[in-house]
A and B are shown apart, each in its own frame.
Chain A
Amino acid sequence: MVAPLQNPPHPKERRLLFANLARPDFTNDIACSLKHGGYEDLKKAIKMKPADITAEVKTGAVRGRGGAGFPCGVKWGFIRPDNTKPVYLICNADESEPGTFKDRYIIHQDPHQLIEGMVISCFAVNAKLAYIYIRGEFPEGAKILEKALDEARTKNFLGKDILGSGFDCEIYVHRGAGAYICGEETGLIESLEGKRPYPRIKPPYFPAALGLYMCPTIVNNVETLCHVKHIIKMGGAEYAKLGRPNNTGTRVLCVSGDVMKPGNFEVEVGAVTMGELINDMCGGLKPGRKLKAIIPGGSSAKVLRADERFKLKSKDADGNPVEKEIGIEDIVLDFDTLAAIGSMAGSGGVIIMDDSRDMVETLANLNEFYAHESCGQCTPCREGSLWMKKITARMVEGHGADSDTATLKSVADNIAGKTICAFGEACAWPTQSFVAKFREEFEAKSKPTAVAGDGHHDEPTESEIALAGVEQ
């Protein structure tokens, strides 16, 4: 399995992390990694002061690549300077956000880049014990990581007195077992502690204060930790020149759905627009098809309608506020722009839907995902996610009712903002946005549309949900 990268790369790509993955002869053993600059930056970092590493990461201003986009350096800075408890670093390798497929390849094809980034990060925050929480469905990835960690130990990049610095650090692989909620940092921590992965209430359980075993804990995404290596390599200031202010560095976009060439594209943040991504890099839509909808940042991101007009506020050359209206193809793919137009950059998973897709069925597919993955701890998400799934399933089957569209919106509104963790928003935003933006399709199904003589089902068959509207 190799990352679906284009060869040669599109001119707009900037392969920083995926440079090695693009090499046809690159293998995941340490010898190959060392040949291509592996662990050079650890050697550099281990001679720096930990506070200086954090300062570089802050200057680099890299934002979390797991989905929340929170500035990494700021997160590290939340650990109290007077802390005396052990600090833990956890690599969130639980890649489960539908539409996202980047960490998989780093883990399987270039694990040493991740390990190097982790050891540098551990050194920066003084974490002597770290875990890679890898989703259970990557069994081969876990084995690859175990082997890579062993190799790193032999070379003294890990373990006691790393490269003679006096710093001890150990990293272990910890496998998950099929729960999306383990991607939520406090859910992950609970899972690592051996309990049901119920996210914690914040306050008071902010991981930087009360994380793993109630000690300060930093949870970072795989990609983010790799960026740390590159920040050390080129220096924070240089790194910050990539991308745009407040949206620095590169990121790996994952495009799937109704495009000719789905795959991974590493670009400077904000260097491409949606149109460039779809048309120039992905080869456009399938023949005879028109764009209908895009989910720009993993399934939890609010959907964008192809013919939507987006209002963007900015300042002109004289500093006067200016409002611009743009179309979907003009959307610049960075964190701030996507947030400004009412969605999010999230995990970088871009899902393209053309006009062969039924939006009610699409939402039904996602609602089933969220209902399945809800941990069940808090009332609104536990009850609401399954309710929304039942409604859209019933609508797809043709047994919609008058009230369904309004109920969907209302239920989603009652979940978002009321839950313990962001899963509430994650499961509510798809329903809110699909219903709002494709109202006519939902209204059309808010009445019985099953053909007379259909056998009545309690719930639609899975094939009914999936095959209708899915043209091969």
Chain B
Amino acid sequence: MSTATETTVQMLNVQIDGVWTQVPAGTRVIEACQTAGKFVPHYCYHPKLSSPGNCRMCLIEMGMPKMGPDRKPELGEDGKPIIGWIPRPQISCAQNVAEGMGIRTDSQMVQECRHGVMEFLLINHPLDCPICDQAGECRLQEFSVEYGNAESRFLDEKVKKPKKVELGPRITLDDERCILCSRCIRFSKEIAKDDVLGFVDRGSYSTLTCHPGKKLENNYSLNTVDICPVGALTSNDFRFKMRVWFLKETKSICTGCATGCNTIIGSREDKIYRQTPRENEEVNSCWMCDHGRLDFHYLHREDRLKTPKIRRGNTLVDATWKDAYDAAALALKKFSGEQIAILASARATNEELYLVQRLAAALKPTVIDVIARPGEADGILVSADRNSNTNGARLFKITGETPGSHTPVLAEKVNNGTVKALICLGENPLDAGIKPEALAKLGAFVVMNILPDAATPQAHVVLPSAGFAEKRGTMINGKGRLQRLNAAIRPPGQAQVDWEILRDLILALTGQNGIYTIEELFKQMAAETKPLSGLSLAGVGDQGTLLAL
């Protein structure tokens, strides 16, 4: 996943559909065609996996220069080699280009090959489109349009196979739909390092399965659903939930750990239906882990914090945003810096953390830190650091070199009463070691969060904020890459995006005039932060930007 330093790559002369072009040596023929604008239909080939060449859909015509008696290529009138075309079609997924190679992607022979393979794939394929999740993003459907027949001439009975196999806790397999491309088997073996899938039986009865004693349940299992070209492997979480053509696709990143896998959030009308990985060579190739992929349902919990609340006596009552900010400011102004602590989050965006830094500048709290989440890296994608923006927290001095090192101090000061005003931004103070009794004794307790936790009932002011899929912003992953989040859905009820809450809180506290757009905020933040200088939010790009931290 890191770029190889390129010195000089040899360029080869290749003729594609009559046009001579230069292609870097080491390029797969099918990729060379793609770059030349000639998409070659395929099923079993995947650029990140080994190439078995079994679907036969990528057959093309290939040729090499005709050699003269002097062992040199014969040249035509145009001074270019004359191609001797191989009578048999060749697959394009398992060979690299060679000097003087000729390729035809669209001849009559190629068309016949594709029609033939298409027909073969469909004769035993069940007519499941109306109930199949893959509809709309199915390669059989897609290539049928160009290469399929309107009517079938298969008059016999289709092969029957198991249709609802519980392959694992998150995956259901329909063996009749399977076209035996083996992508899932290769992925499990080569990428997830969990050799748990295989084919049993033989010939047309070959069937994909897991050994009866095992399951497909590793933390990367759902990638097989992504790469399955048909609806054989389906995600239990998504099965039958939504037609893919209704989904709005929003580019974002996962916030489950410091890797920051690039994602696409599939949503419709403020509800997320699924997340899928988005290719980024520098971060996650084209995979993501199951845990991060499925970790969005909490955004749709019924008990989301939707209304600002202010404490009246023993209870929290609904309030307007203005009243909530005023109440918070009023409560906090009673205390001096040594009596104030801020518990921030290393899962917040840079924009939010920048504003937290401004808030801290205004309040001068005695201690400010985050909750560290150390874990174990799995050697594939999951980082040891389970916070998604530790680097951002460091950059904006919300935490020190070792994240969370001051948090025990923060907890102690709250517990022993030194700190009387606590601002909790996106974290549960009980997780920091703060005791519930201590919370009850606080003179000012302002909470900004998306879901209620055990501490929420103790708050004096509750500010409902936005989840990762409901806001824009940037985060810096564990390798120093600045990446963008985008909003796929709106926060529920009256909840607001966090950076606007912080801006308005600062406004209420200091009277400082606010910033109105996130682009302006980024610009200001970049101007004041050396590693970000010169960048704009748009300029970060969909693939992110590596920073010099």
Contacts and interface: CB of A to CB of B under 8 A. Distances in A.
Q: In the complex, are there CB atoms of A and B closer than 8 Å?
A: yes
A390 interface: yes
Interface string A356-397: 000000000000000111111111101111110011001000
A198 B53 CA distance: 11
A39 B201 CA distance: 43
A48 B406 CA distance: 82
Contacts of A386: 159, 203-204
B56 A376 contact: no
B180 A382 contact: yes
Interface in B109-130: 112-113, 116-117, 119-121, 123-124
Nearest to B88: A417
A379 B203 contact: no
Contacts of A374: 202-204
A391 B155 CA distance: 8
A25 interface: no
A379 B120 contact: yes
Contact of A203 (B57, B94, B159): B94
Nearest to B155: A401
A420 interface: yes
A325 to B, nearest CB: 27
10 contacts: A375-B203, A378-B53, A379-B56, A380-B117, A387-B154, A390-B156, A394-B156, A414-B117, A418-B59, A418-B117
Most buried by B among A373, A377, A379, A403: A379
B206 interface: yes
A204 interface: yes
Contacts of B20: none
Given A373-B203, A385-B204, A401-B155, A204 B117 contact: no
A380 B156 contact: no
B378 interface: no
Contact of B54 (A372, A378, A407, A414): A378
Interface in A414-451: 414-415, 417-420
A311 interface: no
Counting chain B CB atoms within 10 Å of each CB, which of A386, A401, A403 scores highest? A386
B73 interface: no
Nearest to A374: B203
B95 A372 contact: no
Given A376-B180, A378-B55, A386-B204, 20 more contacts: A196-B199, A204-B95, A372-B203, A376-B199, A376-B205, A378-B54, A379-B117, A382-B120, A382-B206, A383-B120, A383-B121, A387-B120, A391-B156, A394-B156, A414-B117, A414-B119, A414-B120, A417-B89, A418-B89, A418-B113
Nearest to A205: B94
B119 A382 contact: no
A201 interface: yes
In the complex, which of the residues A203, A372, A387, A419 has the most CB atoms of chain B within 10 Å of its own CB atom? A387
Given A391-B156, A394-B156, A418-B59, A376 B94 contact: no
B204 A403 contact: no
Contacts of A375: 202-203
Which label, helix, strand, loop or mixed, suits the secondary structure of the B interface? loop
A420 B53 contact: yes
B441 to A, nearest CB: 69
A318 interface: no
Nearest to A384: B120
Nearest to B51: A201
B153 interface: yes
B203 A201 contact: no
B113 A383 contact: no
B52 interface: yes
B398 to A, nearest CB: 53
B155 A458 contact: no
Given A374-B203, A376-B205, A387-B154, A201 B56 contact: no
A122 to B, nearest CB: 31
A201 B59 CA distance: 13
B179 interface: yes
A387 B156 CA distance: 8
Interface string A289-311: 00000000000000000000000
Nearest to A391: B156
B91 interface: yes
A120 B337 CA distance: 93
Which of A196, A383, A413 lies at the interface centre, i.e. has the most chain B CB atoms within 10 A of its CB? A383
B53 A201 contact: yes
Nearest to B95: A203
Contact of A376 (B52, B89, B206): B206
Given A414-B119, A414-B120, A378 B94 contact: no
A376 B203 contact: yes
A345 to B, nearest CB: 21
Interface string A78-117: 0000000000000000000000000000000000000000
